[in-house]
Chains A and B, each alone.
Chain A
């Protein structure tokens, strides 16, 4: 009976590991209509997750052939292994690959394997190896290059960037409408989202900006630099950075920063870890001491450092350190939040740039899943969550047969809460106007508070 075998829509996905990333993936992928089976060794986690989301749960070892078989691996489209253990993740994917034609994504965090990621990926035939700490470190380093920005994401192979910043008191942007911004400041940069009092809006022309708003802007790096100068933000990158905690993220971040000539100081409590770090990062200054000791922080120059990044394993400690640093220094601060659940409180505190590694991980995977689902091949180039996943920025590739091409934008009937942020045409990022048209082969980035877009035509009403 073929009726019982075909799935009406969505991919059949197996997620192994119901931890932080696993749960976020379940939440978002099940909302997008995929058929998900979750495997975790802890029956309690399975019970929680199956009573909250419309997914099937299975308690067992995800690397066991029988468990995978019971989860229906033989006719699955994708397996995502995100357990705590790298070895288990790789084994899950390898075993799944033996019995089915499904695609496989594995999370690998240990630096040892991560350095060999591309080798492993090729040899084991995986579609993607994702390292959340490394990805988070890259995002953090981009912020440090332009410290006034809260968040920077690049699109279209670096041609365009989406930058988040907060309007400080007394800035000229205060009380300016979006239309005036275009006319008086620059019309090569688009304001594509505004967060005010915890709510995210996609602004229209007569929207008035105010002090304390967090805005997302789209444009090229050059335009952004000149905008920053016009609105009185300094643009030089940081020269010194202080990191508290010596875990994996510290290792990845420090190695990126050191490569681009930034002096890095690491404070770590555990002596063995300090020794390891100094072995792998000979240029870094590694301090063996308690990073939560304010005396020590002062002694090591928290008041003079240009960037301060707490990367201890405990979110609460990171938040306290950031608040402390905000008081005692003028450094650029980045706060990493691993667990979430208190997004509203975190965003109400003045923590500088806040990054959520699990969102970064999930959005990378979701972009892959969406691209795979799109029937005409890969239409989604990249996907980013803005404002803690309350809005999405998606970059689409436009195909020949799309029904939005060669029509001036002002004649397209777009959905509400949606904005076309830029059009990538022949390697150039164009900020769209009413008369702009989208041509086949272009890439188009949209910003929206809707979710689940799979194709550029989804922007139409």
Chain B
């Protein structure tokens, strides 16, 4: 293990997080709520520590796969612990476990909260809470790669570990430029959404927080009832942007290059929209008779499918009261999640497509045992390595899911609560069903269960292996 390099990356992350923490300070000054001092002190400690730590640049900057994964796992744990300190020291969320849960939920873009009264928080805390979504959505290491020049090409392993999807590629030959383009698209889309929300009648603070929550596909809102008090215009704007942020960002790069045809023929993106349309139709039909008019039913169907499939988790309606067919459709969307290369979570559409094709190939090979057929995606043969790692991912995913459910089950809540609490955290959605439904929160779980769910959120965001590898003793052996 290249410990000096991992240490260097961690210090860089501390420095960046410190600098980003200055933004809530500015918010505090603007609103005069007096919470900014805590943030400023913690930020300055981070910046100073980061600057000192970054003075020692390691000679060997090679990052092999294991270093990339371990560094990513440690980075996310470190930034979550550091990021929850303002909540603890300002006294707004005094319990460390609760503050950590809230921060991990923020960075991993889950949006599961332990707070029952969100409106009771200061503007500063609300801003920081939503801003963690934005940082976590595209990833802090991708941000690091975009702004810090690092030698060698092996730091692609950092991006591979942090970015979601079965196979992570570059947009352009240089990794720094790739990371830069991704963040530029992300930033521009966030700004456009903020402008739309402003035009829709929200104030600047709410618009920014909602835009952060949408862009990172997080789900922290600024009101106790999440989206239930917003009008249809806001709901439609957010619905559209949630779906846009769930699309593979490669598609936007193709659009920028004016290769629109390439963007809309991406197999994953097309499959994603087909499934979303079908799901909306099912939900719309099954909830239609609960609503006075069809438009409201459609608005909620689109919003809830959008929020669940993009793994955002805003609540515009208490879907816990919906018919079972609609609830099941939502659960299936939670499992599937967004496209690879987006800011969303879940298993990812491309993995679902590969899984489906693997099953089809397996069936075909039983009928014609000697048949040779390669699995393709976008008319290209998919590497056996990718198929293998996709299968391994699904097996590991199922394993973690079952073990987490088993551990949470000791709390003694009903099966739906236990099942959907793990489902909603491991897939980075936020609200589940029953006791963790859209009108409820996670505050009532035991401390132990909260740590299990924190682990699930991190594992889900980093796609399991970066978090699992740091529990593997063999990487620490000399």
Interface flag for A128 (CB, 8 Å)? no
Interface flag for A53 (CB, 8 Å)? yes
Interface flag for B172 (CB, 8 Å)? yes
Q: Which of B174-223 contact A (CB under 8 A)?
A: 174-177, 181, 184
Chain A residues with CB under 8 Å of B176's CB are 54
Interface flag for B10 (CB, 8 Å)? no
Q: Which of A182-233 contact B (CB under 8 A)?
A: none
Cα distance A35–B170 in the bound complex, in angstroms: 12
Interface flag for A51 (CB, 8 Å)? yes
Q: Check if A52 sits within 8 Å of B154, measured CB to CB.
A: yes
Chain B residues with CB under 8 Å of A50's CB are 153, 156, 170
Q: Check if B172 sits within 8 Å of A35, measured CB to CB.
A: yes
Q: Which of B355-412 contact A (CB under 8 A)?
A: 383, 385
Interface flag for B257 (CB, 8 Å)? yes
- Nearest neighbor of B150 in chain A, beta-carbon distance: A54
Chain B residues with CB under 8 Å of A8's CB are 177
Cα distance A47–B386 in the bound complex, in angstroms: 12
Given contacts A35-B174, A37-B173, contact A4 B154 (CB under 8 A): no
Q: Which of A88-120 contact B (CB under 8 A)?
A: none
Cα distance A4–B153 in the bound complex, in angstroms: 21
Interface flag for A30 (CB, 8 Å)? yes
Interface flag for B152 (CB, 8 Å)? yes
Q: Check if A53 sits within 8 Å of B153, measured CB to CB.
A: yes
Chain B residues with CB under 8 Å of A52's CB are 153-154
Q: Check if A1 sits within 8 Å of B174, measured CB to CB.
A: no
Q: Which of B118-176 contact A (CB under 8 A)?
A: 152-157, 169-170, 172-176
Cα distance A7–B172 in the bound complex, in angstroms: 10
Q: Which of A35, A37, A53, A54 counts the most chain B CB atoms within 10 A?
A: A54
Interface flag for B41 (CB, 8 Å)? no
Chain A residues with CB under 8 Å of B65's CB are 51
Interface flag for A452 (CB, 8 Å)? no
A1, A3, A37, A55: the one within 8 Å of B153 (CB)? A55
0/1 string, A3-14, CB within 8 A of B gives 1? 111011000100
Q: Check if B153 sits within 8 Å of A56, measured CB to CB.
A: no
Cα distance A51–B175 in the bound complex, in angstroms: 11
Interface flag for A18 (CB, 8 Å)? no
Q: Which of A1-55 contact B (CB under 8 A)?
A: 1, 3-5, 7-8, 12, 30, 35-37, 43, 47, 50-55
- Nearest neighbor of B170 in chain A, beta-carbon distance: A56
Cα distance A50–B168 in the bound complex, in angstroms: 11
Interface flag for B274 (CB, 8 Å)? no
Chain A residues with CB under 8 Å of B385's CB are 47
Cα distance A60–B19 in the bound complex, in angstroms: 44
Q: Count contacts on A: residues with CB < 8 A to the other chain.
A: 20
Cα distance A37–B156 in the bound complex, in angstroms: 15
- Nearest neighbor of A55 in chain B, beta-carbon distance: B173
- Nearest neighbor of A8 in chain B, beta-carbon distance: B177
Q: Check if B157 sits within 8 Å of A51, measured CB to CB.
A: yes
Q: Check if B175 sits within 8 Å of A54, measured CB to CB.
A: yes
Q: Check if B173 sits within 8 Å of A35, measured CB to CB.
A: yes
- Nearest neighbor of A49 in chain B, beta-carbon distance: B153
0/1 string, A367-399, CB within 8 A of B gives 1? 000000000000000000000000000000000
Q: Check if A56 sits within 8 Å of B173, measured CB to CB.
A: yes
Q: Count contacts on B: residues with CB < 8 A to the other chain.
A: 22
- Nearest neighbor of A1 in chain B, beta-carbon distance: B256
Chain A residues with CB under 8 Å of B157's CB are 51
Cα distance A7–B174 in the bound complex, in angstroms: 10
- Nearest neighbor of A59 in chain B, beta-carbon distance: B383
Cα distance A89–B124 in the bound complex, in angstroms: 61
Chain A residues with CB under 8 Å of B184's CB are 3-4
Q: Check if B383 sits within 8 Å of A4, measured CB to CB.
A: no
Q: Which of A42-86 contact B (CB under 8 A)?
A: 43, 47, 50-56
Chain B residues with CB under 8 Å of A7's CB are 177
0/1 string, A110-140, CB within 8 A of B gives 1? 0000000000000000000000000000000
Cα distance A54–B170 in the bound complex, in angstroms: 10
Chain B residues with CB under 8 Å of A55's CB are 153, 173
Given contacts A1-B256, A4-B181, contact A54 B172 (CB under 8 A): no
Cα distance A53–B61 in the bound complex, in angstroms: 12
0/1 string, A319-333, CB within 8 A of B gives 1? 000000000000000
Given contacts A4-B256, A4-B257, A43-B383, contact A51 B156 (CB under 8 A): yes
Given contacts A4-B257, A35-B172, A56-B172, contact A30 B383 (CB under 8 A): no
Cα distance A3–B188 in the bound complex, in angstroms: 13
Q: Check if B173 sits within 8 Å of A51, measured CB to CB.
A: no
A177 to chain B, nearest CB (A): 32
Cα distance A234–B156 in the bound complex, in angstroms: 54
Cα distance A51–B153 in the bound complex, in angstroms: 7
Chain A residues with CB under 8 Å of B154's CB are 51-52
Cα distance A54–B153 in the bound complex, in angstroms: 4
Chain A residues with CB under 8 Å of B256's CB are 1, 4
Cα distance A4–B253 in the bound complex, in angstroms: 9
Q: Check if A54 sits within 8 Å of B152, measured CB to CB.
A: yes
A29 to chain B, nearest CB (A): 11
Chain A residues with CB under 8 Å of B177's CB are 7-8, 35
Cα distance A35–B256 in the bound complex, in angstroms: 19
Chain A residues with CB under 8 Å of B170's CB are 50, 56
Q: Check if B181 sits within 8 Å of A54, measured CB to CB.
A: no
B476 to chain A, nearest CB (A): 22
Cα distance A3–B65 in the bound complex, in angstroms: 32
B68 to chain A, nearest CB (A): 9
Cα distance A166–B187 in the bound complex, in angstroms: 60
B116 to chain A, nearest CB (A): 45
Q: List 24 A-B contacts (CB under 8 A).
A: A1-B256, A4-B253, A4-B256, A4-B257, A5-B257, A7-B177, A12-B173, A35-B173, A35-B174, A35-B177, A36-B173, A47-B385, A50-B153, A50-B170, A51-B153, A51-B157, A52-B154, A53-B153, A54-B152, A54-B156, A54-B176, A55-B173, A56-B170, A56-B173
Given contacts A4-B256, A8-B177, 16 further A-B contacts (CB under 8 A): A3-B184, A4-B181, A4-B257, A30-B153, A35-B174, A50-B153, A50-B156, A51-B153, A51-B154, A51-B157, A52-B154, A54-B153, A54-B156, A54-B176, A55-B153, A56-B173
